[in-house]
Amino acid sequence: MTTLTTSPSAAAAAPGGTPSAYADRAAPAPIPFARLLKVELRKMFDTRSGLWLMASIGILAALASAAVVLWAPDDQVTYETFAAAVGFPMAVLLPVIAVLSVTSEWSQRNGLTTFTLVPHRGRVITAKAAGALVVAVAGMLVAAAVGVVGNLVGSALNGTDAIWDVSVSDFTAIVLANVLGVFLGFMLGAVLRSSPAALVGYLVISFVLVPLTMTLAAAQQWFADIQPWVDWNFTQSQLFEGLPTDGEYWAQLGVTTTVWLLLPLTWGLWRLVRAEVK
């Protein structure tokens, strides 16, 4: 029987005793950001929850358009009516997708795989934020396209002229409002890192605080005076009425967005990049 031996010098040809064949191998190139963005966008929709969310948006948009055609008065069959009917389900449900895009890394334990393949969490979170921005803008573009079709069909069925009553500036304001709404969901996902908790937080901020603050503003003049500076829902909702030209409004939007979105998001991202992934 023949015994094979390995020369110690061959094994120690590279620092740390690594064979030279491995030492000469070039380090793999980092994953391009475009690929990360593509993966994060796909992860938003290829899960069961994402698929049903998108299906529900499409179903609600179709039902809303049909309702406008069937029951809206002739003078209400306008582009604005169709765009609002289609855009409302998207404005409500797209932030949920932003929530799940962040919390799924912890609640579904995807982070063990994601942060192993891409150890730099900041790049992954940046890709998720860019994906949320793409989804928000694309959602409003789809709503605008469906509104065009609905307006043409509705006016043809009613025998009236198509009315185009949404300007470019109005549409820009609606897109901005939708982007802010989506990043509300993104912020809650980053801060709470739990799908149930973040979704409850989104529902409370969007649908519970609104009537409460409206009631308080109606009952207390002091709160009505400061509401534009402290109530993010109040300032954000004004964008759906058109693009404001008042400088004071933009200052109010900047203050409320900083307090309600930017500061919590910064704190959440700081914790997120340091949190233990289990």
Mean pLDDT of 99-114: 78
Distance CA 81, CA 165 (A): 9
Instruction: Write down the mean pLDDT value for the chain.
Output: 83
Residue pLDDT, tens place only, 30-62: 788 899 899 888 888 877 777 787 788 778 888
Q: Are 165 and 80 in contact (CB under 8 A)?
A: yes
What are the phi and psi torsion angles at 211 (to 5°)? -65, -30
Residue pLDDT, tens place only, 219-252: 999 999 999 999 999 999 999 888 888 889 999 9
Q: What is the pLDDT of residue 223?
A: 95
Provide the H-helix boundaries in the chain.
8-11, 20-23, 33-45, 48-71, 79-107, 111-117, 121-158, 168-192, 195-203, 209-219, 221-230, 232-237, 247-257, 263-272
Query: Residue 188 has which token pair?
Result: 């809650």
Domain ranges of the chain: 30-204
Distance CA 54, CA 125 (A): 22
Query: Residue 166 has which token pair?
Result: 């949404």
DSSP state of 19: -
Q: What is the pLDDT of residue 10?
A: 47
Query: Residue 3 has which token pair?
Result: 């015994």
Query: Residue 90 has which token pair?
Result: 């998207």
Distance CA 235, CA 227 (A): 9
189: Cβ contacts below 8 Å, ≥ 6 apart: 98, 99, 100, 101, 102, 103, 195, 198
Distance CA 8, CA 5 (A): 9
Distance CA 34, CA 149 (A): 32
Distance CA 240, CA 238 (A): 5
| Residue 81, burial from CB neighbour count under 10 angstroms (0-12, 13-18, 19+) | buried
Residue 238 belongs to what H/E stretch?
A: none
- pTM higher than 0.85, yes or no? no
Q: What is the pLDDT of residue 7?
A: 47
> What angle in degrees, to the nearest 10, is found between the helix axes of 168-192 and 263-272?
40
